[in-house]
Chain A
Amino acid sequence: MNNCQDYFVYMNQYLDGELPPQETEELLRHLEICEGCRRRFEALRRMVEETRALSADPPADLHAAIMAGVRRERAPRRGLIRLGGRTGRRALVRIGGLAACLVLLAALFDVASPWLGRTGGDDTASDEAAAPEAALFDAAPGEGAEASRSVQSYAQPAPDGAANGILAPESGDMTGDAATDGSAPGYDHAPLAVDGLEEAGPSAFYVVAVGTGDLSAVFGGDVPVEERTDRICVQIENTENARDEAEQALIEAGFTVCDNVEGLPEIDENAQTGLVIVYEDK
């Protein structure tokens, strides 16, 4: 050890209590004979002392703000799926749970239909108002027994003319929070029973969507499509806003996110993943 630069490193270690005894002796001996280093040492010591004396009193509401955020994170997600949410970091996508996806197609189709006008941000509500529900899918009632049965059984009690193909609210306003409210005019759907999802294991949330679009652009390249049906299930990691981001990504890709899906399995907010169920509108 023979230059002052090396001794400066020693000084730092010394002030941090990290200089071994032998080197400490060496440093102190050097300080005895080197005025430049003595000056530096004293300056460094004062500076470090002042740095360590820095303090910061957090705002009085910090604790409450932290805990409020944590509780929001912890709060059970409701089965009701909302549209919107802010766009942000794309959720890390994991694929799986295909076998467990047994949502009744027609039931979903019926629930989803009022939202057609909201895909891709286009307000095409007036066009959709005239479209029969069957136009959502090429599969006409009767083509799949399960599907047609569900359509009919669900269409029966649907009030407000939904079953008659009158899908658009009179206001025509299909955007914003009001449109996501199942109680908005024209959206008073009878409860929809969805089952068969329990086998997927606990999910932190469920997102149900229909439509046609490039799913690989939404969730990455390897989204598997269930061979015998047009359902696709994607498990996405349960991060903050993952659900909102998935919904937003689906909407941006031209899918319709369904609201008011009832009968979804219990939600476990601590689950590692949420489940996205997409019905392709071929």
Chain B
Amino acid sequence: MTSREQDTVRKARAGDERAFEELVTAYEKKIYHISLRYTGNEHDAMDVTQEVFLRVFRFLPQFQEESRFSTWLYRIAVNASLDFLRRRSPGGELSLDDTDDEGLTLEVSDPRYQPERELERAELRQAVADGIAALPPQMREIVILRDISGLSYDEIGAVLGIEQGTVKSRLSRARSRLAAFLSETGNYSRKSASKKQLEVARNE
């Protein structure tokens, strides 16, 4: 947390509404995006986002700065999203098979990616969004936290309360599952990467 943000958080905690609004402005888009990926639709994402900031407002006096504000906020976002999913599907969705014992699927082939063909790329992106929505919740959330929110493994571990090793393996399994989804829905072709492409990857 930057010292400026720390200052803002302290002011907000002391009841400064303008400071609180600054925090809302800084994070609302990210929280909305997280909620959108969790819930799968804009209307619910809006509701969950509002709920997240209400919880932040309510519990801010209890925030002791033992973690970064953003970590604390993301944890609230994750919990609010999960609460929402539980309400929407009591005893259903969250109990789906998404344990960490599940093996990796290595049926990952190339995405049909050619920069000059924007339409296909848009289709692929939509397929990725659909694939994330189709992931079991535990896998979905780890992809969201890593690739949507950009959290490090450390931060993900802190938000979800899991070990680094679990972050690593769960993320691999989640992406493997996502890739399998894309293959099944025909968004990957079977073209092999050339050594030249590998060189490009290596140099990036």
Residues in A lying within 8 Å of B, measured CB to CB:
4-5, 8-9, 12-13, 16, 18, 28, 31-32, 35-36, 38-48, 50-59, 62-63, 65-67, 69-71, 73-74, 239-240, 270
Closest A-B pairs by Cβ, 5 of them: A42-B193, A46-B111, A58-B32, A51-B147, A40-B108
Are A48 and B175 also in contact (CB < 8 A) when A18-B153, A63-B24 are? yes
Residues on B with C-beta less than 8 A from A35 are 192
Contacting pair B21 A43 (CB below 8 A): no
Q: Tell whether A73 pairs with B168 under 8 Å between CB atoms, given A4-B106, A42-B198.
A: no
Distance in Å from the Cβ of A35 to the closest Cβ of chain B? 6
Residues 22-64 of B, flagged 1 when their CB comes within 8 A of A and 0 if not, give: 0011001100110011000010011001100110011001000
Task: Assess whether B158 is interfacial by the CB under 8 Å rule.
Answer: no
C-alpha gap A48/B169 in the complex (Å) = 16
Residues of B within 8 A of A45 (CB): 201
Chain A residues within 8 Å of B192, by CB: 35, 38-39
CB-CB under 8 A from A31, the residues of chain B are: 198
Cross-interface CB contact of A12 among B36, B121, B168, cutoff 8 Å: B168
Contact across chains for B113 and A66 when beta carbons are under 8 A apart: no
Could you tell me if A69 and B50 are in contact, using CB atoms closer than 8 angstroms? yes
Extra contacts besides A12-B168, A58-B29 (14): CB < 8 Å: A8-B108, A9-B169, A12-B172, A38-B193, A43-B110, A48-B147, A50-B125, A54-B37, A56-B29, A58-B32, A69-B54, A70-B17, A71-B17, A73-B58
16 contacts between A and B (CB under 8 A): A8-B108, A9-B169, A12-B171, A13-B168, A16-B146, A28-B202, A38-B198, A39-B108, A42-B198, A43-B109, A47-B182, A52-B148, A57-B29, A62-B28, A66-B24, A69-B50
Residue of B nearest to A39 (CB): B192
* Contact in complex: A43, B111 (CB < 8 Å): yes
Question: Contacts of A42 on B, CB cut-off 8 Å?
Answer: 110, 193, 197-198, 201
Among candidates A5, A18, A71, residue contacting B106 with C-beta atoms closer than 8 Å: A5
Q: Which of B143, B150, B176 has the most CB of A within 10 A?
A: B176
> Is B178 interfacial (CB-CB < 8 Å)?
yes
B188 within 8 A of A: yes
Is B67's CB within 8 Å of the partner chain A? no
B202 touches A12 (CB 8 A): no
A50 contacts B172, CB within 8 Å? Answer: no
Contact of A8 with B54 in the complex, beta carbons under 8 Å:
no
Give A240 to B80 CA distance when docked, in angstroms: 14
| B129 contacts A by Cβ under 8 Å | yes
Pair A8/B104 contact, Cβ less than 8 Å: yes
Complex interface: chain B residues within 8 A of A66 (CB): 24, 28, 49-50, 53
Known contacts A38-B198, A41-B193; decide if A56 and B61 are in contact (CB<8 Å).
no
Q: Is the CB of A43 within 8 A of B188?
A: yes
Q: Hey, what's the 0/1 contact readout for B90-113 against A, CB within 8 Å counting as 1? A: 000000000000011010111101
Closest A residue to B15 by CB, please name it: A270
A259 to B33, CA, bound (A): 43
Contact present for B32 and A56 (CB under 8 Å): yes
A70 touches B54 (CB 8 A): yes
Which residue of the partner chain B has the closest CB to A31?
B198
Q: Does B152 count as interface, using CB distance less than 8 angstroms?
A: yes
Task: Give the CA-CA distance A69 to B80 in the complex, in Å.
Answer: 16
B176 touches A8 (CB 8 A): yes
Which residue in chain A gives the minimum CB-CB distance to B146? A16
In the complex, which residues of chain A have a beta carbon less than 8 angstroms from the beta carbon of B58?
Answer: 73, 239-240
* Cβ-based interface call for B20 (8 A): yes
